[in-house]
Amino acid sequence: MKPITIVIADSQNLYRIGLRSVIKKHFKNVQIRETCIKNEVLKWLKKEEINYLFLDPYNIKSFEIDEIKTLNIAYPNCKIIITTCSHNELSEELLIRKIIKGYICKTNKELIFHEAISKIEENEEYVCNEILSKFFKNKVENKFKAQYQLTERETEILKLIGQGKSGEQIANDLFISIHTFRTHRKNIMKKTNINSTSKLVVHAISNHLS
């Protein structure tokens, strides 16, 4: 029987070792290639049939999200699975357009990876709960910003207020003066029609911003 060919593309050596161990437990007949270089991924895809590509595009130099879309078109039989901890850069479009087969947070336990691979083997998509939660928060945050016409900085400050941080802590975290923080807070209160910091905290929490 022809072996399953898998590429792990990630700059973190320890993570590659761990994922390789998981994959070898899951597949009886498997050939694994590892790299931290984008050009090697492209070379292997052109040279042979790759069944699975486990990829963290956010820690491989020069690997753009648009290139994943191109790979999906050029190599439709290769199942692309993103594994990442870069939650701030998540791309929902890759899932919605079925460009990738899986989105998994690296911090998940081994059982989750086995579950994900099993689902993807059956040609289903798999998204772990951590990633789903982040997608949900992103949607809520974008809707909230649009509703109240908050700037990126105002949204960031409101999230920190929702976490219970003081004005001084927020100013230090964002490297701004306490006066600048107070100006932002005043603008947030005006836009949301909320007249106290405590109410802002409640509002942020109830809208899943904290």
Q: What is the pLDDT along the chain (210 residues), one digit of tens a residue?
A: 789 999 999 999 999 999 999 999 999 899 999 999 999 999 999 999 999 999 999 888 888 888 999 999 999 999 999 999 876 667 777 877 889 999 999 999 999 999 999 999 998 999 888 888 777 677 667 777 778 888 888 888 888 887 778 889 999 988 999 999 999 999 988 888 888 777 777 777 666 665
- For the chain, give every domain's residue range: 4-133, 149-206
pLDDT tens for each residue of 130-154: 888 777 677 667 777 778 888 888 8
CA distance 11 to 15: 9
How far, in Å, are 86, 151, 199 from residue 83 at the CA level?
9, 30, 38
Whether the CA torsion 174, 176, 179, 184 is positive or negative: it is negative
pLDDT value for 121: 93
> In this structure, what token pair is assigned to residue 83?
């594994």
CATH T-level assignment (fold) for domain 149-206:
Arc Repressor Mutant, subunit A (1.10.10)
Tokens of 160: 């920190």
Q: What global pTM score does this model have?
A: 0.70
**Long-range own/partner contacts, residues 119-122 (CB < 8 A, 24 or more apart):** 120/52, 120/79, 120/81
In contact, 64 and 41? CB cutoff 8 Å: no
Looking at residue 117, what is its pLDDT? 94
Choose which CATH entry (3.40.50.2300, 3.40.190.10, 1.20.140.10, 3.40.50.300) describes domain 4-133: 3.40.50.2300
Q: What per-residue confidence (pLDDT) applies to 91?
A: 79
